[in-house]
């Protein structure tokens, strides 16, 4: 069975939660021990989704050549089709709506339960796959995304505790035809990068959803964007959350205007990593005991 054949399978039943019935214990269990992904429904109004989509379309239309950096698109680059998958980076600087999305109370509550109360944001971007856009290679996400070279990682690293939480906010319908994200449920339980012998496309299910749906998943689950074989766009906001001690993928504070950082809300300051002082020049730090139970 190939990637096309997966589109005729019945929809995989991801568990669905609403803000009013947000069971964080059940969500954490599903992310770590279950399928590896859940859907949060009804977090954003149609107007909020439309505003975010308008900005993403405008920004990505200005990058018709696909000049922005992207990931897991090696085959598309070789084939000269990389411009059919476009990234829009530094979203916090491109509209207040993206701060609201990144720090939505329901998402913050889930990530506090999953990654610890002082978690940070490693990246926030948009991913737009145009009609005819190719899919990605199956992969796992940062900081696991180069685990195809396991010797560069610590001995006995595993996924028994998470170093990543991914959030995908759908700006367009995620269907089999538009290239809804493919994933193999349960693969997050054993930390391993998928290879050609794993039969990813024979085993994968799809993260199907409606406009405005929010998929939360553990980035250690095998997944990839699929080819867009429709006549419409498939776009989404993709946000990466990390424990406070993991080096973020994007240098978010450096990309933002100083005034934005100065006026950031407490939640946004946390997401930008501004509450966690390390790395710090300790030789120049104020004297006195700074850490321990008695601090």
pLDDT of residue 5: 38
Domain-located, residue 171: yes
pLDDT at 6 over 80: no
| Average pLDDT of the segment spanning 46-72 | 85
pLDDT of residue 255: 95
Domain-located, residue 5: no
Domain-located, residue 158: yes
CA atoms within 13 A on the CB side of 37: 27
Give the count of beta carbons closer than 10 Å to the beta carbon of residue 78: 9
| Residue 7's pLDDT band (cuts 50, 70, 90) | very low
Mean pLDDT estimate for the chain? 91
| Average pLDDT of the segment spanning 231-257 | 96
Domain-located, residue 283: no
| Average pLDDT of the segment spanning 265-281 | 94
Structure tokens at 264: 């950031």
- The three-class DSSP label of residue 190 is coil
- Of all residues in the chain, the percent with pLDDT exceeding 70 is 90
**Residue-number span of the structural domain to which 260 is assigned:** 16-275
- The three-class DSSP label of residue 109 is helix
CATH classification at residue 120:
2.60.120.620
Domain-located, residue 291: no
pLDDT at 197 over 60: yes
Domain-located, residue 284: no
Rounded CA-CA distance 239/90 in Å is: 11
Structure tokens at 129: 């796959």
Give the count of beta carbons closer than 10 Å to the beta carbon of residue 15: 13
- The three-class DSSP label of residue 52 is helix
* Percent of the chain that is helix, strand, coil (3-state, to 5): 30, 15, 50
pLDDT at 78 over 80: no
Among positive and negative, which fits the CA dihedral 241, 67, 99, 234? negative
Q: Mind listing the pLDDT tens digit for each residue in 171-196? A: 999 999 999 999 999 999 999 999 99
Write out the H or E segment, with its range, that includes residue 266: helix 266-271
Phi and psi torsions of 54, nearest 5° = -60, -45
Overall number of domains in the chain: 1
pLDDT of residue 12: 79
pLDDT at 77 over 70: no
Q: Which residue has the higher pLDDT, 4 or 172?
A: 172
The tokens 């145009």 sit on which residue?
130
Neighbouring-strand partners of residue 74:
none
pLDDT of residue 291: 81
Burial of 262 (0-12, 13-18, 19+ CB in 10 A): exposed
| Residue 290's pLDDT band (cuts 50, 70, 90) | confident
Domain-located, residue 282: no
pLDDT of residue 76: 63
The residues, ordered by sequence, that sit 6+ positions from 55 with a Cβ below 8 Å of its Cβ are 88, 94, 95, 97, 98
| Residue 72's pLDDT band (cuts 50, 70, 90) | low
| Average pLDDT of the segment spanning 157-162 | 97
Distances (CA, A) of 161 to 191, 217, 248, 288: 11, 14, 18, 33
Rounded CA-CA distance 40/149 in Å is: 33
Domain-located, residue 247: yes
pLDDT at 225 over 70: yes
| Residue 84's pLDDT band (cuts 50, 70, 90) | confident
End-to-end Cα, the chain, rounded Å? 59
pLDDT of residue 9: 57
Rounded CA-CA distance 88/78 in Å is: 21
pLDDT at 63 over 80: no
Structure tokens at 88: 């829009």
- Cis status, amide bond into 171, omega within 30 of 0: no
Burial of 292 (0-12, 13-18, 19+ CB in 10 A): exposed
pLDDT of residue 97: 98
pLDDT of residue 58: 95
Helices 24-33 + 105-115 axis angle, to 10: 60
| Average pLDDT of the segment spanning 120-140 | 93
Whether this prediction's pTM lies above 0.85 is answered by yes
| Average pLDDT of the segment spanning 77-88 | 74
| Residue 230's pLDDT band (cuts 50, 70, 90) | very high
């Amino acid at each position: 069975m190939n990637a096309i054949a997966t589109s005729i399978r019945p929809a995989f039943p991801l568990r669905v939660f609403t803000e009013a019935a947000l069971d964080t214990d059940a969500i954490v269990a599903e992310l770590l021990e279950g399928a590896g992904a859940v859907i949060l429904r009804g977090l954003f109004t149609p107007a909020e989704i439309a505003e975010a989509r308008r900005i993403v379309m405008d920004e990505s239309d200005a990058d018709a050549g696909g000049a922005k950096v992207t990931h897991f698109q090696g085959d598309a680059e070789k084939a000269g089709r990389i411009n059919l998958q476009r990234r829009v980076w530094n979203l916090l600087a491109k509209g207040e709506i993206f701060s609201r999305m990144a720090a939505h109370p329901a998402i913050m509550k889930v990530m506090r339960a999953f990654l610890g109360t002082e978690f940070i944001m490693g990246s926030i971007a948009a991913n737009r796959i145009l009609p005819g856009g190719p899919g990605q290679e199956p992969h796992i996400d940062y900081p696991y995304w180069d685990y195809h070279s396991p010797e560069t990682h610590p001995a006995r690293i595993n996924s028994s505790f998470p170093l990543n939480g991914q959030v995908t906010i759908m700006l367009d319908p995620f269907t089999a035809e538009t290239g809804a994200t493919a994933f193999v449920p349960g693969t997050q339980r054993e930390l391993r990068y998928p290879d050609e012998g794993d039969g990813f496309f024979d085993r994968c299910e799809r993260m199907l959803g409606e406009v405005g749906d929010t998929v939360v998943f553990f980035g250690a689950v095998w997944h990839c964007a699929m080819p867009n074989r429709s006549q419409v766009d498939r776009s989404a906001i993709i946000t990466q959350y990390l424990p406070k001690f993991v080096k973020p993928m994007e240098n978010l504070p450096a990309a933002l205007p100083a005034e934005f950082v100065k006026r950031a809300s407490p939640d946004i300051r946390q997401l930008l990593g501004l509450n966690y002082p390390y790395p710090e020049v300790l030789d120049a730090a104020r004297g006195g005991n700074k850490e321990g139970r008695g601090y």
